Amino acid sequence: MNTDTSHNQPNLEKLQASRRDSALVRYRTVAVGRQGTNTALLLFEMINTCVLPLPGRFGRFARNLLLPLTGARIGNKVRIGRDCTIRNPAAIEIGAGTVIEDRVCLDVKPDAERLIIGSNVLLGRGTICNCAGGILEIGDGSRIAASCRLGSKLGLRIGRNCRIGVEACCSGAAHAYDNRNIPIALQPVTCKGPTLIGDNVVIGDRATLLDGVKIGANVHIAADSLINSDVPDNTIVAGVPGRIRGRTE
């Protein structure tokens, strides 16, 4: 785990300013972004309460009709399931033909840039996209199975036509652990850099990719593997930590 916090030390001025804000302003910032207004927040809450939980075809129709009013950019023939969590919708873009199953979380933090979901993508039930910084991008035609966790602190890019198995994790960041007097969860957030996944990559069930790794194109990562270093194109990787076991070509 990298303990370099040079990219991730809290901005003290922003932190102090946020603490001076009212509870309403802090909540509005989390819900609809730093540029959001109270009117945007009211609309967001109405959609969040009345539209996101709606079942069936009518619920999908209502979400496609009303979510763009919050600033979300949604393509044609998108299907968004019920009980999804959507934060900072103005920073979210969803391409045509994409399917987002029930209880998916699309969370773009106020300091992040945006979440881009390409065309004809599948996000499985209960998957979490946590865009805490940079750009989190999922390429066209990729399939993300149920209960995955996709994190971005300095950026995460998943290429086109990738397949990611159930409960897989792309870690966007970690915590320092050098101070034994402070619980790890309370120590500063660290990140080695953006995580980049090439086109046509297959990631098995429950595999974990740590922050900052670069995965080449046409790679196959076996189930339950831990990837903590870069992987070249056209390789098969397995193990904890992951090691090259063969080639895909």
pLDDT-wise least confident of 1-15, 48-62, 151-165: 1-15
Q: What is the pLDDT of residue 44?
A: 92
Query: Where is pLDDT greater, at 10 or 94?
Result: 94
The whole-model pTM stands at 0.87
Q: What is the pLDDT of residue 11?
A: 47
Scan for tokens 């069930």, then name that residue.
205
Q: What is the pLDDT of residue 35?
A: 80
Mean pLDDT of 1-10: 44
Q: What is the pLDDT of residue 2?
A: 43
**Is 175 part of the annotated catalytic residue set?**
yes
φ and ψ at residue 161, rounded to 5 degrees: 55, 40
Q: Nearest 5 degrees, angle CA 126-CA 111-CA 48?
A: 45
Q: What is the pLDDT of residue 61?
A: 94
pLDDT tens across 119-144, in order?
Answer: 999 999 999 999 998 999 999 999 99
Quick check: 15 pLDDT over 70? no
| Cβ–Cβ < 8 Å for 139, 118 | yes
Q: What is the pLDDT of residue 19?
A: 56
From 26, 79, 175, 243, the catalytic residue: 175
Quick check: 196 pLDDT over 60? yes
Where residue 3 falls among pLDDT bands split at 50, 70, 90? very low
d(CA 47, CA 231): 42
What CA–CA distances, in Å, run from 102 to 133, 147, 168? 25, 11, 18
Angle, helix 23-32 to helix 38-50, in steps of 10 degrees: 60
Quick check: 16 pLDDT over 90? no
Quick check: 198 pLDDT over 60? yes
Domains located in the chain, CATH noted: 73-247 (2.160.10.10)
